[in-house]
Structure 1
Amino acid sequence: MRAPGLPRSDARTRSIWLWQVALAASVVLVTIVVVAVPSIMFADTAYWAGVLLIVATTIAALFTPWTRIGTRWVVLVPFMDIVGIGLLALNSELRLGYLWVFPIAWIATFYRLKWLIGALAAVTALLILDSVATAGGPLNTLRLVIVLLCLSFIGMTFHVAAQQTGAFRRLLSRQASRLGLALERVEMQRQRATETLDGLDIAVARISDHGEMVAANRAYAELYGLDPDDLTRPGRAVEYTTLRGEPLDAESRPLARAARGERIDEERVWLFDVEGRWRALDVSTRALSGANDEGPSTLLVLRDMTALLEAKRERESLALTVSHELRNPITAVLGHTDLLLERTDLPADARRNLAEIEAASERVLRLASTVLQKRPGAQERADAHAEFDAAAVVEASVTSFRPTATARGVELSAPDTNPLPLVGDAFRLRQAIDNVVGNAVKYTPASGTVLVRTSRSADAVRIEVADTGVGMSREDVDTMFEPYHRSATARASSVPGTGLGMGIARQIVEAHSGTISVQSGLGRGTTVAISIPLPGRAAEL
């Protein structure tokens, strides 16, 4: 049989040596006993001829390059042994025919049944020759039959065992091949999972319930300065409670808390990394169940929020800077407008226009002041709870945009309506309505119309702005409230814009517990509906 890990040719050579040397050693041992006991009688010539044949066959088997000879030639060795044993047993009372067990077992183990039958036939022929040479009677015939029966039983036993062993070996080989393929697939999946995790910007690590880091992706290793090949070494980054605050103690660090199985949901931790930079991390954990012989573990997830915080600070800084710089020119505009309004020789049309300029300037100045006074991170909300007339706010907005609409050849109209009392911030609601009406005027081509309607139901005031402009696709409608988003038709037009107006409008409306909805179609215009609860209804909503 072939030893595991050996080439097939080397295993065959060793098998030949093993079987042949075992027989030769047995023959040599028998010969030593025969020579040492003078009372044992045997046929000298035939015996020594058999010994010489077996020894010569053994020497030839040891020096033959079996790796370059076909397997069918190997069977000559046990057949030569059969002849040699026949010579040993010829005209002898030593019962040396038992040695035929060696070549018979060899042939039965490694060759087909026809070779076993041939070997048994050769043994039969040698036994018949011995019987004829010794002129044996019925006892020799009985001995021949017994020897053949025993050798046949032994040969068939070895042959069946060899067949079963071969079948088991082939089965194990197929199972090993399948197991190898399964292991390759598992390894490939593990490698793909590792590559996927390494490709993420999010730092991920798996922590055992004993506090050991089982695995970590590249982002985690780089963030903490770990050696990817040895995660047991401590990292070189330091965690802090706040920016430039106090370092976290050992028990409060995310790794220790994850090892204890604590549930963490987007908690902020500051990290001073190996490159000397501060990083804001949002830490979360997720419990993982155990698999096979592994116990439960915890997934530690860290998101680097530094860039987002810096962008937010930059936006706030820009907003504060712009608001601050707007105050001076707007103040100058208001001052000069007041001086002009004090004159008594102004035409009525000019006085109305100056009044509109003054009102618009006051709104801009109030917006700038609101931004300057706003606390960082505070959400947009209504900052006043006074009663006002929504119809008057709508009328003022339409009046301010009518000159622009006329200049663009757009008909802007708002049917008269009865007073619509609301409670909230009239100034901020005016800003939302201005954003909606302004967009309708901007994106409606000449000869188009913009209609602003107001109505009242049992529980809310509804303000609807409908235009016959360029319209938007369904995809643009779904994303129009996102910051800095502009529809495809808006981008294709020459009308400038920032993409912030509708998002601001929705924030203001929602701060009044209201809703804003949009219906639009390409080339079919857009309708924006604002619904604000009546006094007493907002609390219920």
Structure 2
Amino acid sequence: MEKLLDVLLLGRVRFHDLNLTGRVLLSQLPLNLTMFLVCAVVAVVDPRKFRDPSFLAAQAIAVGLFALCAVIPWQRLPYGTFLVIPFLDFVPVTFVRSSASDALSGLGLLAVFPMLWLAGSGYRARLMVPLGGVASLVMVWAPLVPAGTVDARSLAAQLMTPVMILAVGVGASVMTASGTAQQERVEELLERSETRERLLDTVLETVDVGVIVLDAEGQGMFANSKQIEVYAAALPTDGAAGHETEMMIYREGSEDPLPPEQWALERALAGEEVERELYRLGKGAEARTVSVTVRGFSDAGGAHAGTVVASSDVTDVVAAVRARDRFLSIMSHEFRTPLANIMGYAEMVQDDPLLSETSRSDLEVISRNAQHVNQMVDDILAAAVTGTDSAAIRLPLDFAELVREAGASSGPDAKRRGIRLSVETDGALPVVGDRTGLVRVLDNLVSNALKYSGSGTEVSLRASRDGTWAVCAVEDHGMGIAPDELERIFTRFGRSTSVLGTGIPGTGLGLALAKEVAEKHGGTIDCTSEVGVGSTFTVRLPLRAEARS
């Protein structure tokens, strides 16, 4: 009963939330209320109708049908049995129409209530609506029989009311069918949404990444167990709950706690972008290093709806990288001392005028190979030292001058190999950069060109301006590189298969490091090559702003 009243008062309970008996009672209630209204109006207009047996019978039948709706256990009967009530409703409507139509007009329209019930039930509407139309027709024709006025004219005069009621029934049936289809679609979408939500929850609990979702106000909506586990390391370890601002969050490599306004989440809420930034949570052996990325998301209307924070625990990865870098650094430094001794003593012995030509030739081989090993050690050391490029001081430079210096420093090596080295520059090329890094790039490209070219060939360096770019092209006429290997040569430790078969020494680090330096300067480095013809490596760096016009 409480649910029934809630539906009538437009509360939180909806019609379909009621049991079958409640829905039957609610469907019957409009007719009974209208019949009660008819009694009230008749009491004012023509009280004599209360002495008419037909009028009283109509009211009694309506009350009796309402009582049947309440006492019959409809849920125990076959579904659709309850539709006998709207067909029986046509009986009291017939009696009240025939007995009070002279006092009140339009009483035949009371048949709309049982017709709406039949059409709105959704149960075999194609059958129930026509039967309701027949019942409406019987309602208007049946009173003509006892009156003895059954003829074509009188029958035709009563057709409008049944036709109108049938039209209402057809319209209600169509809308009910459409509403039912929409409801089924909504239920299907809700089921899919629930399934996707469960899938998302399962995925977020399965992946080894901490995820927290905040709403547009910055309040937490969701956090998976990995997020809770990772950030537990940042909580104070003194046993107290601690205030949020006392969390132990540090920049990776720093021992100074970050103030709350510099935390990744706070910065993201303030509108900044955070992309894979490293933070250390906690101290000591229990500290965790996390890579944090923050993304905002929008609702269907494009308005900001919240923020997603993803935290990857990279503690073991960072430790492994540091161990590798320490190993490479130590190994490289351990090589430097004996190599320096070898090259130094070889140079000293070469200066001896009494040295035979055979011994001098042997010493040149020793010196040359020691230089190759030294270059390899330099490449390994450069790869082991991380972060130096980002911290390097960048100053105004003339890229054309650096190209000329690279040609000059490589001239003796080219002469010894029997290779002609030419340098062409087209005026000054002002750039802003790290001189050491750019010299390393040019030296690497020139040394590679000489290393992989044969005696009697030519290597050329050409520096020029191309729009807003300073360009240096290093061209050789050596063995060349296969097209499918052009990308691999710019990866660390990546070398062409044709080179591997020649026995020419190298680590495969030089070009990778050169590419990194060029990109950190906002430039590019690429290669065009043809096997057996030669290769051209091109470096592009942005010109200084004042030199672009």
Q: Give the alignment partner of residue 527 of structure 1, picking from 520, 525, 535.
A: 535
| Aligned-pair CA distance for 1:466 | 1.5
Q: Give the alignment partner of residue 414 of structure 1, picking from 411, 419, 427.
A: 419
The separation in 1 between residues aligned to 2:422 and 2:262, in whole angstroms, is 63
Equivalent pair of 1:330/1:365 in contact (CA under 8 Å): yes
Indicate yes or no: 2:451 matched with 1:438.
yes
| Aligned-pair CA distance for 1:236 | 12
Structure 2 CA distance for partners of 1:515 and 1:220, relative to 1, 3 Å: closer
Deviations 1:197-255 (Å, cap 9, x if unpaired)? 788877665544533134557764554359xxxxxx98997422454624334444333
Structure 2 partner of 1:321: 330
The separation in 1 between residues aligned to 2:518 and 2:273, in whole angstroms, is 36
Equivalent pair of 2:474/2:537 in contact (CA under 8 Å): yes
Structure 2 partner of 1:396: 413
Q: Give the alignment partner of residue 170 of structure 1, picking from 153, 171, 177.
A: 177
Deviations 1:416-475 (Å, cap 9, x if unpaired)? 87999xx9889966665333433457xxxxxxx772334678999975321245x311x4
Deviations 1:235-283 (Å, cap 9, x if unpaired)? 9974224546243344443333434445556665322399923305355
Q: Give the alignment partner of residue 113 of structure 1, picking from 112, 115, 133.
A: 133
| Aligned-pair CA distance for 1:24 | 13
The amino acid across from 2:328 in the alignment is A
Secondary structure of the residue aligned to 2:535 is strand
Equivalent pair of 2:24/2:82 in contact (CA under 8 Å): no
Equivalent pair of 2:249/2:280 in contact (CA under 8 Å): yes
Structure 1 partner of 2:458: 452
Matches within 5 A, 1:34-433: 62=72, 67=78, 77=88, 108-109=115-116, 110=118, 111-128=131-148, 161-180=168-187, 183=190, 205-215=212-222, 220=227, 223-224=230-231, 238-243=248-253, 245-262=255-272, 268-272=278-282, 276-281=286-291, 297-298=306-307, 300=309, 309-310=318-319, 312-331=321-340, 333-334=342-343, 337=346, 341=350, 346-358=355-367, 361=370, 377-379=387-389, 390=407, 393-397=410-414, 399=416, 413-415=418-420, 432-433=445-446
Secondary structure of the residue aligned to 1:466 is coil
The separation in 1 between residues aligned to 2:514 and 2:359, in whole angstroms, is 31
The separation in 1 between residues aligned to 2:176 and 2:109, in whole angstroms, is 23
The separation in 2 between residues aligned to 1:455 and 1:19, in whole angstroms, is 97
The separation in 1 between residues aligned to 2:135 and 2:78, in whole angstroms, is 22
| Aligned-pair CA distance for 1:414 | 1.6
Indicate yes or no: 2:484 matched with 1:484.
no
Cα RMSD for the two superposed structures: 6.6
The separation in 1 between residues aligned to 2:181 and 2:279, in whole angstroms, is 54
Structure 2 CA distance for partners of 1:236 and 1:5, relative to 1, 3 Å: farther
> Considering only CA atoms, is the larger Rg found in Structure 1 or Structure 2?
1
Secondary structure of the residue aligned to 1:281 is strand
Deviations 1:358-403 (Å, cap 9, x if unpaired)? 365367568868987997522399999999683572442563xx5x
TM-score normalised per structure 1: 0.58
Equivalent pair of 1:482/1:503 in contact (CA under 8 Å): yes
The separation in 1 between residues aligned to 2:372 and 2:272, in whole angstroms, is 51
The amino acid across from 2:448 in the alignment is N
The separation in 1 between residues aligned to 2:259 and 2:307, in whole angstroms, is 20
Structure 1 partner of 2:45: none
Structure 2 CA distance for partners of 1:293 and 1:223, relative to 1, 3 Å: same
Structure 2 CA distance for partners of 1:160 and 1:79, relative to 1, 3 Å: closer
Equivalent pair of 1:207/1:258 in contact (CA under 8 Å): no
The separation in 1 between residues aligned to 2:169 and 2:34, in whole angstroms, is 20
Equivalent pair of 1:455/1:462 in contact (CA under 8 Å): yes
The separation in 2 between residues aligned to 1:467 and 1:480, in whole angstroms, is 16
Deviations 1:83-129 (Å, cap 9, x if unpaired)? 9x79x99xxx9x9xx9x97996676554432222123333332444x
The separation in 2 between residues aligned to 1:25 and 1:457, in whole angstroms, is 102
Structure 2 partner of 1:464: 475
Structure 2 CA distance for partners of 1:493 and 1:339, relative to 1, 3 Å: closer
Structure 2 CA distance for partners of 1:524 and 1:315, relative to 1, 3 Å: same
Structure 2 partner of 1:500: 509
Equivalent pair of 1:23/1:102 in contact (CA under 8 Å): no
Secondary structure of the residue aligned to 2:486 is helix
The separation in 2 between residues aligned to 1:488 and 1:269, in whole angstroms, is 41
Indicate yes or no: 2:12 matched with 1:4.
no
Structure 2 CA distance for partners of 1:509 and 1:432, relative to 1, 3 Å: farther
Structure 2 CA distance for partners of 1:342 and 1:116, relative to 1, 3 Å: closer
The amino acid across from 2:407 in the alignment is A
- When structure 1 is superposed on structure 2, of 482-491 and 380-389 the one drifting more is 380-389
Equivalent pair of 1:251/1:257 in contact (CA under 8 Å): yes
Query: What is the total number of aligned residue pairs between the two structures?
Result: 464
Deviations 1:276-327 (Å, cap 9, x if unpaired)? 23305355x5565566697664554656665664455344323322222213
Equivalent pair of 1:279/1:306 in contact (CA under 8 Å): yes
Equivalent pair of 1:225/1:236 in contact (CA under 8 Å): no
The separation in 1 between residues aligned to 2:409 and 2:87, in whole angstroms, is 118
Query: Where does the alignment leave 5 or more consecutive residues of structure 2 unmatched?
Result: 1-6, 8-13, 40-49, 119-130, 234-242, 429-434, 466-470
Equivalent pair of 1:211/1:260 in contact (CA under 8 Å): no
Equivalent pair of 1:261/1:287 in contact (CA under 8 Å): no
Equivalent pair of 2:213/2:220 in contact (CA under 8 Å): yes
The separation in 1 between residues aligned to 2:414 and 2:252, in whole angstroms, is 46
Secondary structure of the residue aligned to 1:248 is coil
Deviations 1:50-93 (Å, cap 9, x if unpaired)? 999x989988995897527868977875688799x79x99xxx9
| Aligned-pair CA distance for 1:491 | 7.1
Equivalent pair of 1:209/1:259 in contact (CA under 8 Å): no
